[in-house]
Amino acid sequence: MNNEKLLFSDAIRLAYGQTLMDGGSSMLTTDGCFFTPPEDGFMVGGVSLELKIPKEMLNHNLFHAIWMTYSRMIDDKPNLILHLCNSIAIGTWIDGKDKVVFDLSQQVKTRNEAHDLCIERGEDAYYDVKARKSVSVAEVESEDVELFEKDQEK
């Protein structure tokens, strides 16, 4: 997808469809009005409190209302945008099979930065945009220990 900016209403429709069909969505914004899907990097939540709702309760109107609330959080905190270098996004995903999660997340460039931010914020995972998958912090730490042990055996 190109970096064309989407109006608020178009971004909500895209996010709603991606959340239900693909399991999640991230929409970057600098002002809470215009959005673009990220094309690379890593998305780390924990910029705001998460909201979890049962998936069976979700409909377009509820999704719209919650998304609007998160958009207002961005609009109400211009210093937050400046502090995060215009890399803030409204993120949604399906947690397990039964909950839809809303959160503000931050786009970072490197896997190490994503991992460190997850630990700092108490997040379980980050999202690898290019690979289109969630990466568990515990899984990464376990792989690092295995690599370290293999190096020690040599």
pTM score of the predicted model: 0.82
- pLDDT tens sequence across 108-146: 999 999 999 999 999 999 999 999 999 999 877 655 544
Residue 87 region by backbone torsions, left for phi larger than 0, else alpha for psi between -120 and 50, else beta: alpha
- Model pLDDT, residue 85: 59
Instruction: Name the stretches of the chain with pLDDT < 50.
Output: 1, 145-152
Any idea where the domains of the chain sit in the sequence?
Answer: 6-153
- Model pLDDT, residue 149: 45
HSE (CB half, 13 Å, CA atoms) of 134? 18
DSSP string, 115-153: HHHHHHHT-SEEEETTTTEEEEHHHHHHHHHHHHHHHHH
